Amino acid sequence: MTDEYKEALLEKQNYHEGCPGCKVEQMKQQRRGYPYLELSFVWIIVLSTSLPISSLYPFLYYMIEDFGVAKTEKDIGFYAGFVGCSFMLGRALTSVFWGIVADRYGRKPIILLGTISIAIFNALFGLSLNFWMAIGTRFLLGSFNCLLGTMKAYASEIFRDEYQATAMSAVSTAWGIGLIIGPALGGFLAQPADKYPNVFSQESIFGRFRYALPCFTISAFALVVTVLCCFIPETLHNHKQDRTSHDDSYEILEAASRDSAASAGKAEKDERKGSQGSLLKNWPLMSSIIVYCVLCLHDTAYSEIFALWANSPRKYGGLSYSTNDVGTVLAISGLGLFSFQVFVYPLAERLLGPVLVTRFAGALMIPIQMSYPFIASLSGLSLSLMLNCASILINVLSVSAITGLLILQNKAVDQSQRGAANGIAMTAMSLFKTVGPAGAGILFSWSERRVDAAFLPGSHMVFFVLNVIVVVGVALTFKPFLTTGRR
């Protein structure tokens, strides 16, 4: 059989008319050049889902104070942790379910559901009247926040093989940028009637609901993204088993090639049989998920602790920063993260590989976090300069470490299991991130009660615990614990 007949046969076997996933595969093969359009879609969708996650941190300290549930100033961090973790608890309970639904019904419906839920529940959080309403709306926001796991699968499917590192970098970068821009928006737009009295009066809705403006802004962006998502292609393959539209030439080619393709088909079948097994027994997947969860625990705990530490009074080792000051630092960090992930990370990943990037990034975070308590003793320009440099580096290194693990996870499974695999990753990560804010709030509240301790006083203890988590994460990247797939 000639090479032309073989190619025609393969094309006929692999392409199923009416299957959206096959249409995307054809589009990927036909298009050449850098995938700017695909990158744009991934960016805005992931950005919309990450913005509300940490947008509350700059004003959460003051929101808890306004609710009046904390008896003393030292108790604010304790209650803030429960509001922060309610989102992750909701996401942990539903991530596997949404992953399975995405594998069965497609990525696009889940993406649309996620963006709509952000618009609704994040706006309701901004209208919270008390502590329990804040927890309830954040829990519902997390329960329907089904986008990250689905988008990881979607990005790996819509990009060609040579751009897989770019795909995962786009997901993690947009995620990281959202986790920084979100708090920046929260810092600049919270309490608008107090900050911008010429624009917002105390009698307006933003005067009564002091934290509604940043939430409404993010919800409006999610609505715009929802409209744009109506035009994205579906990437899930949906092949019908019984087909009657094969032409005669294809039947002849199939019969002629049956014997010659038998050995190749058997090998492929054996390979797929292994890949379709239980995801929980897929150690390359599960080991990368565990390391991913540990580093995500650090990322969430750091985000909450940084905001609480910056807002807290100097007598407790903090910076006495306003929400605007915190927003400025995080906006600068977002710009630095964007530049690094777009221009530097893909090159670093090609040169070193995802595992080495994760190890180096984790190791470099340790000395930088140790410096934070000493930065608090500075003032003026030196404080701003050192704090911004440290914040940029921590955010860049944290996102870089997580990106490498995302690449390993998607390489460890076939397309038909990526939704469920990412659902498992999201569930496990959300459980860790549920512990993160609650634990960080309790730890921070405790540290403010021991500012005069002989061993690791005040904020020294907080950043020491963060470094312990990083050390554990880096240690788990070595064999025999972490293994990589062959796909």
Within 8 A by CB and 6+ apart from 403, the residues are 168, 169, 171, 172, 173, 341, 345, 349, 354, 357
Tens digit of each residue's pLDDT, the chain (487 residues): 444 544 444 444 455 545 555 555 555 555 666 667 778 888 899 999 889 988 888 888 889 888 888 887 778 878 888 888 888 888 888 887 888 888 888 888 999 999 999 999 999 999 999 999 999 999 999 998 878 778 877 887 887 777 777 777 788 778 878 877 888 888 889 989 988 888 888 888 998 999 999 999 999 999 999 999 888 888 776 555 444 444 444 454 444 445 444 444 444 444 444 444 577 888 888 999 999 999 989 988 898 889 889 988 888 888 988 878 888 888 888 788 778 877 787 788 888 888 899 999 999 999 999 999 999 999 889 999 999 999 999 988 998 888 888 888 877 887 667 777 877 887 888 788 888 888 888 898 898 888 888 888 988 999 999 999 999 999 999 988 888 765 5
What DSSP string runs through 308-325?
A: HHHHS-GGGTS----HHH
Measured CA to CA, the distance from residue 321 to residue 330 in angstroms comes to 12
Contact 150, 422 (CB under 8 A): yes
Helix axes 459-475, 418-447, angle to 10 degrees: 150
Spell out the CATH class of 280-486: mainly alpha
Listed by start position, the domains of the chain span 35-235, 280-486
Backbone angles phi, psi at 414, to 5 degrees: -80, 170
Contact 466, 301 (CB under 8 A): yes
pLDDT on residue 31: 62
- Other CB atoms within a 10 A radius of the CB of residue 240 amount to 10
109 closest CA partner among 226, 264, 266:
226
Q: Quick check: do 35-235 and 280-486 share a fold?
A: yes
Helix axes 20-30, 147-158, angle to 10 degrees: 50
Peptide bond into 480 cis (omega under 30): yes
Measured CA to CA, the distance from residue 59 to residue 42 in angstroms comes to 29
Exposure b/e, 453-474, CB count within 10 A at least 16 = b: eeeeebbbbbbebbbebbbebb
Q: Is the dihedral of CA 332, 337, 339, 344 positive or negative?
A: positive
Within 8 A by CB and 6+ apart from 196, the residues are none
Tokens 């922060």 locate to 84
54 closest CA partner among 399, 437, 431, 422:
437
The first and second tokens of residue 40, run together, are 């744009």
Angle at 431 between CA 331 and CA 425, to 5 degrees: 85
Measured CA to CA, the distance from residue 141 to residue 162 in angstroms comes to 35
The first and second tokens of residue 401, run together, are 């470490």
Angle at 60 between CA 57 and CA 63, to 5 degrees: 160
pLDDT on residue 365: 95
Q: How far is CA 152 from CA 44, 102, 156, 337, 446, in A?
A: 13, 12, 6, 19, 37
Contacts 24+ apart (CB under 8 A), 345-350: 345/169, 345/173, 345/400, 345/403, 346/165, 346/166, 346/169, 348/400, 349/165, 349/169, 349/403, 349/404, 349/407, 350/165
pTM over 0.75: no
Which CATH code fits 35-235?
1.20.1250.20
